[in-house]
Amino acid sequence: MNEPLFMVPTGPVGPWDQLTENEKAWIEFIRVISGGRDPKPSPARVRALRELLDAG
């Protein structure tokens, strides 16, 4: 995956406390496994995530 890791800043979006505990767990896990590099959505990543969730 060679796309840029960073994007132009747009500011924090949405209070953290409005997320469910499950949603916080998903985001925190993504932060850990990506080494905190804030991975940018790409078609391949989005497709893989959708396949994972579609599988239930």
Partner 1 sequence: MTAPHAATPAAKLIADRIRDLSHRKTQAEIAAEAGFANPNMMTFLKTGKNKIPLDRVPSLAKALEVDPAYLMRLALDQAVGTMAAKAITEIFGTPATENERVWLDEIREASQNTDPRLTSRSRTALRGIFGR
Decide: is 2 part of the binding site for partner 1 (CB under 8 A): no
Q: Contact between 7 and partner 1 (CB under 8 A)?
A: yes
- If one asks whether residue 3 binds partner 1 (CB under 8 A), the answer comes out as no
In whole angstroms, the minimum distance from the beta carbon of 6 to partner 1 comes to 5
Residue 49 lies near partner 1 (rule: CB under 8 A): yes
Q: By CB under 8 A, is residue 43 in contact with partner 1?
A: no
Per DSSP, the residues of 1-56 read: --S-S--------S-GGGS-HHHHHHHHHHHHHTTT--PPP-HHHHHHHHHHHHT-
